[in-house]
Amino acid sequence: MNATALVFAVLALLLAGPVPALLSRATWTYRSPRAGLVLWQAIALAAVLSAFGSGLAIASQLLVPGPDGRPTTAPTKEIDALGLPLWSLYVLVFLLTLLVGARLIYSVLRVAVRTRRRRARHRMLVDLLDRSTTRPLAMRASNIRVLEAAEPIAYCLPGIRQRVVVSEGTLSTLGEPEIAAILSHERCHLRARHDLVLEAFTAVHDAFPRVVRSASALDAVQLLIELLADDSAVKAAGPGPLARALVACSSSSAPQGALSAGGPTTLIRVQRLAGRRGDVRIATAAYVAAAAILVVPTIAVAVPWLVELSRLINA
């Protein structure tokens, strides 16, 4: 059991820090963003499960067998069997595991509530300032809002009441193909619910202690999500119009909780459009690695632990 806890602890530390730092420097994910995103999700989930697995494996030492072979349930008997120092250590680890779980749940709820409040306030604002009724019929879709701003701006507000927000500057600067590309980009975000992926990674990022978490993981996932939306826009309008639209909106900003077409990653995304073909072999390897990260530790470590735990309970 102690070996199980050690393996889980090492896995959690590796998957929370060094592995994300290494993967964030990989460039193959630019060509296969979907496979890269799946691998990132597997790493994050495996890190969380490994952290819980380590704590629970240590805490399970409290289930020491009594004289009849069944696990003891009285704390005094467990203290007699383990000794007070070791018993105290196991109890402390169990409490820390519960604390980590509570921190993760709190982080998920805090990120979700905070993000939705911000979106609701901004959605109300863009609805009040909307000028789409003065634009051509094509811009009067139910979820499109046009703001009176000279700067080219394009972003979306996900959720049940979705909005795609563009500025007057966007519509006056870009031609029809570029506008179609940028709208397709934002609608891909809404359709695929990329905001939920970002929320999950933000919650995990906030929940892990700073000394072990990777600061680059969230940035890498944000870039991959933009690349996926770019791929959708290329299918709808072609790489040229999308590239021109991204350059025009590169300096635009969006409120927190929104997904913007522009931003600091514009140069990487535009350069990628010239040669974005992915390698099927690399993508397949990434999917296999993602499955292995989740399945192999479970089979090699968790199953023997669960078998032993079942033996103690059923003894």
- The pLDDT value given to residue 62: 74
- The pLDDT value given to residue 70: 66
- The pLDDT tens digits of the residues spanning 36-59 come to 999 999 998 888 888 888 887 777
Is a pLDDT exceeding 90 seen at residue 216? no
Is a pLDDT exceeding 80 seen at residue 314? no
Q: Which of 230, 254, 258 is nearest to 244 (CA)?
A: 230
Collect all residues with Cβ–Cβ distance below 8 Å to 61 and sequence separation of at least 6.
1, 2, 82, 86, 90
* Whole-angstrom distance, CA of residue 90 vs CA of residue 74: 15
- The pLDDT value given to residue 156: 94
- The pLDDT value given to residue 221: 92
- The pLDDT value given to residue 204: 84
pLDDT-wise least confident of 22-26, 29-33, 73-77, 87-91? 73-77
Is a pLDDT exceeding 60 seen at residue 152? yes
Prediction pTM value: 0.85
- The pLDDT value given to residue 64: 66
Can you list the alpha helix ranges (DSSP code H) found in 130-238?
168-173, 176-192, 194-207, 216-237
Q: What angle do CA 23, 24, 27 make, to 5 degrees?
A: 85
Strand (E) or helix (H) holding 166: strand 163-167
- The pLDDT tens digits of the residues spanning 188-200 come to 999 999 999 999 9
Is a pLDDT exceeding 70 seen at residue 154? yes
Q: What is the DSSP string of 79-139?
A: HHHH-HHHHHHHHHHHHHHHHHHHHHHHHHHHHHHHHHHHHHHHHHHHHHH--GGGS-GGG
- The pLDDT tens digits of the residues spanning 223-241 come to 999 999 999 999 999 999 9
Strand order in the sheet with 144-147: 144-147, 163-167, 154-157, 259-260
Q: Which of 304, 311, 235 is nearest to 273 (CA)?
A: 235
Query: For 156, what's the count of Cα atoms within 13 Å in the CB-facing half-sphere?
Result: 25
- The pLDDT value given to residue 288: 95
Collect all residues with Cβ–Cβ distance below 8 Å to 261 and sequence separation of at least 6.
154, 155, 182, 185, 186, 245, 246, 249, 252
- The pLDDT value given to residue 111: 92
- The pLDDT value given to residue 1: 54
Q: Average pLDDT for residues 276-297, to the nearest whole number? A: 87
Q: Average pLDDT for residues 68-86, to the nearest whole number? A: 71
Sign of CA dihedral 243, 245, 248, 252: negative
Contact call for residues 244 and 178 (beta carbons, < 8 A): yes
Percentage of residues in the chain having pLDDT higher than 90: 42
Q: Average pLDDT for residues 275-289, to the nearest whole number? A: 87
Is a pLDDT exceeding 80 seen at residue 308? no
If you search the block for the tokens 């600061």, which residue do you land on?
215
How does strand 163-167 pair with strand 144-147? parallel
Q: Average pLDDT for residues 76-93, to the nearest whole number? A: 78
pLDDT-wise least confident of 74-88, 151-165, 298-312? 298-312
Backbone angles phi, psi at 136, to 5 degrees: -60, 165
pLDDT-wise least confident of 4-18, 59-73, 265-279? 59-73
Q: Which of 153, 111, 168, 182 is nearest to 249 (CA)?
A: 153
Q: Average pLDDT for residues 210-224, to the nearest whole number? A: 81
Is a pLDDT exceeding 70 seen at residue 269? yes
Average pLDDT of the chain?
A: 85
